[in-house]
A and B are shown apart, each in its own frame.
Chain A
Amino acid sequence: MDKIPILKMGHFLLVTIQVDMHDRLAMTLQDDLTSRVVKDRAKGVLIDISSLEIVDSFIGRMLANIAAMTRTLGAESVVVGMQPAVAITIVELGMSLHNVRTALNVDKGMALLIAQLNGLAEDDGNEPNPE
């Protein structure tokens, strides 16, 4: 049974979905990611879907679930790299994904997570780098 690898990069977890997701794989990913967020004390999750040729309502629901679950655990998720044809299709399908943060690519997604992390630090009153 194959698994989707989860990489740790600093405060963040990085997942690249490269295979056609079937139901069990999607469920395993939800379980693995939430466990890793807790174990690694991750502050953010980056999900790269640039290799996905379609996002149907099943995969869309999985992405929304992951975003909600990790947010509950204190880690923001960002979905990056959606193909233009996929974006056109999911909007016509009627899927808004409005609870899922998205960014154009890995760089922009990472920038979003870092900005989020810095924002959190300020909210705590802990200036990361006081001049």
Chain B
Amino acid sequence: MNPTRSETFQLQTSDDVIRMRQMVRVWMVEMKFGLVDQTKMVTAASELARNALAYGGGGSVCMEALADDGRRGLRLVFEDQGPGIADLELALTDGYTTGGGLGLGLSGSKRLVNEFAIWSAVGEGTRVTIVRWTI
């Protein structure tokens, strides 16, 4: 599916995470997502951006506006070139953390979106793709 609009932002500092959250919010308001949809997507984005910072040593997010058969979608692709995740199944378990957090970043953000995909290779990095649709 070809995005109707696409932009990439760097995620290197916690200020970048805040700016990205504001950007996601602005896009979703423009795309006429409801408040609960916005809140869920911005929260998921915040979790994944923090992961990219904390575990990946920084990364980037690509934001894409999608249109498909009358519905609108926002796709976010988070990428980092960090150490990668050896055991994805374990990393997706509620409460599992190697960073001293609550262990809800991956598993929790998965529950907040309509589509969730993760790719990771040890020594190469991690890429997480999420989509939220209007309907």
Contacts and interface: CB of A to CB of B under 8 A. Distances in A.
A54 interface: yes
A55 interface: yes
B35 interface: yes
Nearest to B19: A20
A68 B108 CA distance: 23
Which residue among B18, B94, B107 has the maximum number of chain A CB atoms within 10 Å of its CB?
B18
Contact of A94 (B14, B18, B108): B108
A92 B116 CA distance: 15
A56 B39 contact: no
A93 B18 contact: no
Contacts of B47: 56-57, 93
Given A57-B102, A61-B101, A93-B111, A22 B14 contact: yes
Interface in A61-99: 61, 83, 85-86, 88-90, 92-95
A85 B101 contact: no
A95 B104 contact: yes
Interface residues on B, range: 20 to 34
B109 interface: yes
B112 A92 contact: yes
Contacts of B15: 22
B50 A58 contact: yes
B43 A54 contact: yes
A95 B14 contact: no
Interface in B83-97: 94
A3 B111 CA distance: 33
B36 interface: yes
Interface of B: 14-15, 17-18, 21-22, 25, 35-36, 38-40, 42-43, 46-47, 50, 94, 101-102, 104-105, 107-109, 111-112
Closest 8 CB pairs of A and B: A93-B108, A85-B39, A56-B46, A22-B14, A23-B14, A57-B102, A85-B36, A57-B104
